[in-house]
Structure 1
Amino acid sequence: MFKKILIANRGEIAVRVIRSAKAMGIKTVAVYSEADKDSLHVELADEAVHIGPEAASESYLVIEKIIEACQQTGAEAVHPGYGFLSERPAFSHALKEAGITFIGPNPQAIEAMGDKITSKKFAAEAGVSTVPGYMGLIETPEEAVRISQDIGFPVMIKASAGGGGKGMRIAWTAEEAADGFSRARSEAASSFGDDRIFIEKFIENPRHIEIQVLGDKHGNVIYLGERECSIQRRNQKVIEEAPSPLLDEETRRKMGEQAVALAQAVDYDSAGTVEFVAGQDKSFFFLEMNTRLQVEHPVTELVTGVDLVEQMIRVAAGEQLQLAQKDVALKGWAVESRIYAEDPFRNFLPSIGRLTRYRPPQEGTYGAVTIRNDTGVVEGSEISMFYDPMIAKLVTHAPTREIAIDAMSKALDEFLVDGIQHNVPFLAALMKHDRWRSGALSTSFINDEFPEGFAPVKPDEAAQAVMASVALSMHLIERERLDHLPGRLRPHSGITRPHWVVRIDKELIPVELANGMPTTPIDMDIRVGEVTELVAVRSDWVPGDLVWRGTYADETISVQVRRILNGYRLDWSGYSCEVVVLPPRLAELDKLMPEKLQPDTSKMLLCPMPGLVVSIDVVAGQEVKVGEQLAVVEAMKMENVLRAERDCVVSAIKAAPGDSLAVDAVIMEFE
């Protein structure tokens, strides 16, 4: 077994590999760019080597620097994680020439399966169901349009070396095919250094299901069940689960056997994933094979009990698999939510900055439920524009899907992140969504259910009652503490009054306290709005706690608490509300307060995210039509096209290609 390994990656996956290596008694070496010098993976590793500037092309993607770091530290093997160099055959070859073991599949398998065009041919020869498409090289947008028309719209335009949703577009028309080809090719070149594109038929209303395979260097290959990854946005997975609510045992076996047949065809000898697109009728077609560890591997680990990173290390060291296919059993259900640094209320645009607060839920097993959080950050970490926006993967495991989802919902309610925008409110709302909970999924789920994007969820009466009760309980506890300050007269505060009004956003809700001043722990009965029955509210919350934990009508809940002027901002189950508690007379006066108006930016194109200006596609004085391309901004390795929302005339250009812009920086102005 290896004594020391190097992790050629960063963030949460580097931390994940370090965790397994340490459990095996193996020393670890981290590598880091200038942007990551204070990162968690650097702190946790036994050694760390600086490999260059912030840009991945000058640090994490430079093979020579990785090999030099191995030689400098005496690392015998390299785990690539995912992304970066994980699927580069040249990296595996270079390590072999330097006498260093690659913890991953042999380079021939990477070449065969890492190239999506070649992998389709291998799959067909191995008897794996494949999607109709064009596997040859495509050179021009015109050629892409012709091929798309021959296949029949809609089509999927994909980078041959792609992954993670990059270099991928869906086209429903000839115009979209031409534009999608150009964008996919540009993204593929910048992300993977390979601009080859292929086109295949897009299966409508499909589900995304993948099979985890594991092979060794002695010819043994098994599959470890499936994961469903149908909840996607811009072709990037958001929520994953294992097993799939679609499959039955027979379909699972067929998919698993085809995945193993493909792996055996290329002598696969590590952990890998065979991805399928599945119809609602349980038909399935080969999509691609990822010759690396997948982002969503934790759900498989939790339902099988197999540490995939450990298995990869053991296989790379020459050991035989200790598992046979008959030993694999799926136990319970696991759900993974990807926590991204992005603003769900602004079309999920990337967000960067410092994590002023980062308090994930406590990991561990609580009765039948397990909570796991794979992360690469801590409070105070900087989220950079140079890398992927994912900051954590929250995973829950339970005996059933329903219990696992409920556990995820509660865990998300406790996941406190400040300093950047993040998608926790969106994930929390999804956990309550009836269609998600029913398992009626497809890869178009988010587009179907949120066609206008995700907006703040307006609380219904039941949610308002919860928010009002939580706010009143905290307000009274804080007022009661004030009354115990030296010199304060308790009756002066008025906290003993039974009647209050809670303003939730702009709505005023009457609340009646039925049993006098609550104590700490909170124990009170209240009546909200027009509801006639009393509701019991219990909590051990004390001023300063960032999460209110307790029971409302005997239901255990967690509500995030942030102070605002004269009140609180409460976040719970996807709801986010500004809440102020008022005596009835002040509530009457509050209605008379003027409303602050937002500045008019309708004649400006503002940068929607921190990013780099790739192109300015209009000039001052130009007339533009609705939908016309104005500029392209790149952020976190994705190109974002900004288009005109109405017919107008450009009056001034305020930015140029190559500029790095902050959120809401003015790109251009209109007459």
Structure 2
Amino acid sequence: MKKLLIANRGEIACRIMRTAKKMGITTVAVYSEADKSSLHVGLADDAIYIGPSPATQSYLNQKRLLDAIKLSGADAVHPGYGFLSENAEFSELMEKNNINFVGPSADSVRKMGDKIQAKKIAQSAGVNVIPGYIGAIRNEKEALNIASKIGYPIMIKAAAGGGGKGIRIVRSKEEMQQAFSSTRNEAKNNFSDARTFIEKFIENPRHIEIQVLADKHGHYVCLGERECSIQRHHQKVIEEAPSAFLDEKMRKKMYDQSIALAKAVDYFSVGTVEYIVDKNRNFYFLEMNTRLQVEHPVTELITGIDLVEQMIRVARGEKLSFKQKDVVLSGWALESRIYAEDPACGFLPSTGRIATYKEPISSAGVRVDTGIYEGGEVSMFYDAMISKLCTHATNRDYAIHLMNEALEQYVIRGISHNISFLQAIINSKRFLSADISTNFIDEEYKDGFAGAVLSDEESVVILCAAVYISMTDIKRSMSINGQVRFASKSMGTRWVVQMNNRNYPVAVRGIDDGYKISFENRRFYITSRWLLGSKLFQCVINGKDYSLQIEYLHGALNLTYRGSKVKVALFTPRAGELTKYMKKSSGNEAQSDLVANISGMIVDVKCKAGDNIIKGQPLVVLEAMKMENVLLSQVDGKVIGVNAVKGQTCSSGDILIEIESADNINRL
């Protein structure tokens, strides 16, 4: 293997290139119109254009990929994950053209890629399977009949699915129509296969997966497990290895069943056998992913084994250089998926240019896998992931501590992201105690995410930071050419910190490199080397280190700490008193018209002019970043105009449906 073409993009393409270069292998990138300035293109030794931005015309176009392979002279191809990584026809195409496919055989991919057939094979191999209907569902009527026999809740799943796409939980017959339609559409758009099947939904399960590695000579090993229970809409958000729920006895049973399944399909390369586990530690086969997983870094961190390197070595026909007894799980690793999405707006994807991008300060135990850079763009055409932030430490508590510090230092501006949401999760009592399940997010954030609830300590940290930042700004405004125009004492010592429209009186006195702040009969000493204008504020308060994110507003600041974003401002006591007379927004004003919060393609329009609608009613289905998003009416009212057209694209901010609210109608 001399030249490797990576048939993928973004973060995973960059990740594969790093290992290939380490092994002395020349790398080739492919790119679409949207990715012509992407990071993976610049990192490769060679790069070839393969078509327009939509994935179906570029990264999923097998002919164009084959042409690129021939043009580049590559003798091997790595599919990464997603796109064609689990496409048996693509694997066969590579074989027919004497191209080394860095992955399993087409036969293994085909057998495990069809979730219906995979369950049958697993059952025959002695693997525990979930109760359900093992067969393709023809239509909604049949789905209703099967669901009534199995009993709600059930899951409708894409037969060729993976990556959390093409899955819907249905709790009643009333939910079936939309769920069945959306599952089929996502299955067709993501996997070119609209078949679906139904299985019983197990309440409050954990999602635990076993990493399998096998060569072409019949040698199999398992590389520990990963806990992937923190999910939103079946998309993994935070992963860790190992799992706090497993003991050695259970791990051995899962190892045995995973290898039995791999042997049943003559598997080689890396693969992941996924299970759901109930509260009684009963585990059931979910699926086998015949590719490199997104969350593979946590396995690499606790085993010290480069999985991409092993994939390449297996593809070259080498035997595994170690046995099961040689695999040692060392320490604890966490992975947080940084997504371009807005948690405060129902996690809608966010697209656009990245104005600021600063990764956490490099340190031992912190790893960032990314495919973006400052000034780059997040496109509407692909997955919303920005990066994977990983930490590794001797134990779970310290790995969480490192993750906290890294998230606090991660600065991203220009697009919305989920860092605050991740911080809120890892600081929650349930997560800290490992009391988790796949329902964790739904249970902890039933009404959506609007920021973490501030503890007393966190409120004080934000208050002290607000004082330091604001006083630094005031000092600058009082100086000319670096010379302070007035004595420090002329600034006064009495101030009011306003946090979320509530006033907190403080006394402030200058000390070396900072301030002594008196608040509610407590004293806090804050020092920092922060420079005015920086978006990351790092400080020491009473001997403890803290990091906060800063967004500058007119006359105020937004400070974010541990998942909470707080609007703050510093006033003199008199100005603080007068703020109560200023008009404040209630924050409850509803937007009548339905506005696109993201750019994407309109898949369906569920209303017409003249329709009377109610709050929460589905009006438009919008596809963006390979996911369908159902946009709901925010008010009761009447549709007076429909601007959304099925099959057309829209931009964020476009008015899709014009609505006259019921309140306006009643006033008239």
1:343 aligns with 2:342: yes
- Preserved contact between residue 136 and residue 159 of structure 2 (Cα < 8 Å): no
Give the deviation of 1:443 after TM superposition. Answer: 0.4
Q: Sort the Cα spacing of 1:493 and 1:620 in 2 relative to 1 into closer, same or farther, 3 A.
A: farther
Give the aligned partner of residue 563 of structure 1: 552
Q: Sort the Cα spacing of 1:104 and 1:670 in 2 relative to 1 into closer, same or farther, 3 A.
A: same
- Preserved contact between residue 483 and residue 493 of structure 1 (Cα < 8 Å): no
Whole-Å Cα distance in 2 between the matches of residues 356 and 644 of structure 1?
32
Whole-Å Cα distance in 1 between the matches of residues 565 and 587 of structure 2?
20
Q: Could you list the runs of 4 or more consecutive aligned residues of structure 1 that deviate by over 6 angstroms after TM superposition?
A: none
- Preserved contact between residue 338 and residue 388 of structure 2 (Cα < 8 Å): yes
Q: Sort the Cα spacing of 1:623 and 1:101 in 2 relative to 1 into closer, same or farther, 3 A.
A: same
Q: Sort the Cα spacing of 1:270 and 1:517 in 2 relative to 1 into closer, same or farther, 3 A.
A: same
1:259 aligns with 2:248: no
2:15 aligned counterpart, secondary structure: helix
1:400 aligns with 2:377: no
Give the TM-score of the pair, scaled to structure 1: 0.95
Give the aligned partner of residue 164 of structure 2: 165
User: 1:304-343 residue pairs with structure 2 within 5 A?
Assistant: 304-343=303-342
Whole-Å Cα distance in 2 between the matches of residues 58 and 581 of structure 1?
54
Give the aligned partner of residue 213 of structure 1: 212
Q: Sort the Cα spacing of 1:446 and 1:489 in 2 relative to 1 into closer, same or farther, 3 A.
A: closer
- Preserved contact between residue 495 and residue 517 of structure 1 (Cα < 8 Å): no
1:581 aligned counterpart, secondary structure: strand
Whole-Å Cα distance in 1 between the matches of residues 659 and 370 of structure 2?
43
Give the aligned partner of residue 539 of structure 1: 528
2:581 aligned counterpart, secondary structure: coil
Q: Deviations over 1:206-240 (max 9, x none)?
A: 01000000010001111001001000001100000
Give the aligned partner of residue 503 of structure 1: 498
More divergent stretch after superposition (455-464 vs 244-253)? 455-464
Whole-Å Cα distance in 2 between the matches of residues 616 and 11 of structure 1?
32
Give the deviation of 1:313 after TM superposition. Answer: 0.5
- Preserved contact between residue 591 and residue 634 of structure 2 (Cα < 8 Å): no
Give the aligned partner of residue 517 of structure 1: 510
Residue 656 (structure 1) aligned to one of 620, 638, 645? 645
What 5-or-longer segments of structure 1 have no aligned partner? none
2:360 aligned counterpart, secondary structure: coil
Whole-Å Cα distance in 1 between the matches of residues 451 and 432 of structure 2?
20
More divergent stretch after superposition (105-114 vs 649-658)? 649-658
Q: Deviations over 1:390-432 (max 9, x none)?
A: 0100001111111111111111111111000110110011111
Whole-Å Cα distance in 2 between the matches of residues 497 and 617 of structure 1?
61
Q: Sort the Cα spacing of 1:662 and 1:599 in 2 relative to 1 into closer, same or farther, 3 A.
A: farther
Percent identical residues: 48
What 5-or-longer segments of structure 2 have no aligned partner? 661-668
- Preserved contact between residue 239 and residue 336 of structure 2 (Cα < 8 Å): yes
User: 1:31-110 residue pairs with structure 2 within 5 A?
Assistant: 31-110=30-109
Give the aligned partner of residue 634 of structure 1: 623
1:658 aligned counterpart, secondary structure: coil
Residue 603 (structure 1) aligned to one of 571, 592, 604? 592
- Preserved contact between residue 87 and residue 292 of structure 1 (Cα < 8 Å): yes
Whole-Å Cα distance in 2 between the matches of residues 592 and 649 of structure 1?
37
Give the deviation of 1:665 after TM superposition. Answer: 2.2
More divergent stretch after superposition (628-637 vs 261-270)? 628-637
User: 1:610-621 residue pairs with structure 2 within 5 A?
Assistant: 610-621=599-610
Letter matched to residue 516 of structure 2: D
Residue 622 (structure 1) aligned to one of 611, 627, 631? 611
- Preserved contact between residue 424 and residue 451 of structure 2 (Cα < 8 Å): no
Letter matched to residue 301 of structure 2: L
Give the aligned partner of residue 287 of structure 2: 288
2:127 aligned counterpart, secondary structure: coil
Whole-Å Cα distance in 2 between the matches of residues 75 and 364 of structure 1?
36
Q: Deviations over 1:593-633 (max 9, x none)?
A: 23357795543222232222112122111233555432211
User: 1:346-365 residue pairs with structure 2 within 5 A?
Assistant: 346-365=345-364
Residue 419 (structure 1) aligned to one of 393, 404, 414? 414
Whole-Å Cα distance in 2 between the matches of residues 548 and 568 of structure 1?
12
Whole-Å Cα distance in 1 between the matches of residues 477 and 182 of structure 2?
60
1:431 aligns with 2:426: yes
- Preserved contact between residue 605 and residue 669 of structure 1 (Cα < 8 Å): yes
- Preserved contact between residue 518 and residue 524 of structure 2 (Cα < 8 Å): yes
Letter matched to residue 453 of structure 1: G
- Preserved contact between residue 590 and residue 635 of structure 2 (Cα < 8 Å): no
Whole-Å Cα distance in 2 between the matches of residues 362 and 22 of structure 1?
25
1:670 aligns with 2:659: yes
Give the aligned partner of residue 664 of structure 2: none
User: 1:374-389 residue pairs with structure 2 within 5 A?
Assistant: 374-389=369-384
Whole-Å Cα distance in 1 between the matches of residues 515 and 8 of structure 2?
51
2:486 aligned counterpart, secondary structure: helix
Q: Sort the Cα spacing of 1:569 and 1:626 in 2 relative to 1 into closer, same or farther, 3 A.
A: closer
Give the TM-score of the pair, scaled to structure 2: 0.96
Residue 542 (structure 2) aligned to one of 549, 553, 556? 553
2:119 aligned counterpart, secondary structure: helix
Letter matched to residue 259 of structure 1: S
Whole-Å Cα distance in 2 between the matches of residues 49 and 327 of structure 1?
41
More divergent stretch after superposition (477-486 vs 111-120)? 477-486
Whole-Å Cα distance in 2 between the matches of residues 627 and 467 of structure 1?
36
- Preserved contact between residue 592 and residue 635 of structure 2 (Cα < 8 Å): no
Letter matched to residue 435 of structure 1: R
Report the count of equivalent residues: 660
1:75 aligned counterpart, secondary structure: coil
More divergent stretch after superposition (465-474 vs 89-98)? 465-474
Letter matched to residue 376 of structure 2: S
- Preserved contact between residue 479 and residue 495 of structure 1 (Cα < 8 Å): no
Whole-Å Cα distance in 2 between the matches of residues 560 and 135 of structure 1?
50
RMSD (Å) for aligned C-alpha atoms:
1.8
2:522 aligned counterpart, secondary structure: coil
2:148 aligned counterpart, secondary structure: helix
Residue 436 (structure 2) aligned to one of 441, 444, 467? 441
Q: Sort the Cα spacing of 1:599 and 1:335 in 2 relative to 1 into closer, same or farther, 3 A.
A: closer
Give the aligned partner of residue 274 of structure 2: 275
1:592 aligns with 2:581: yes
Q: Sort the Cα spacing of 1:489 and 1:447 in 2 relative to 1 into closer, same or farther, 3 A.
A: closer
Residue 527 (structure 1) aligned to one of 513, 518, 529? 518
Q: Sort the Cα spacing of 1:611 and 1:415 in 2 relative to 1 into closer, same or farther, 3 A.
A: same
Whole-Å Cα distance in 1 between the matches of residues 441 and 118 of structure 2?
29
Whole-Å Cα distance in 2 between the matches of residues 455 and 478 of structure 1?
29
1:608 aligned counterpart, secondary structure: coil
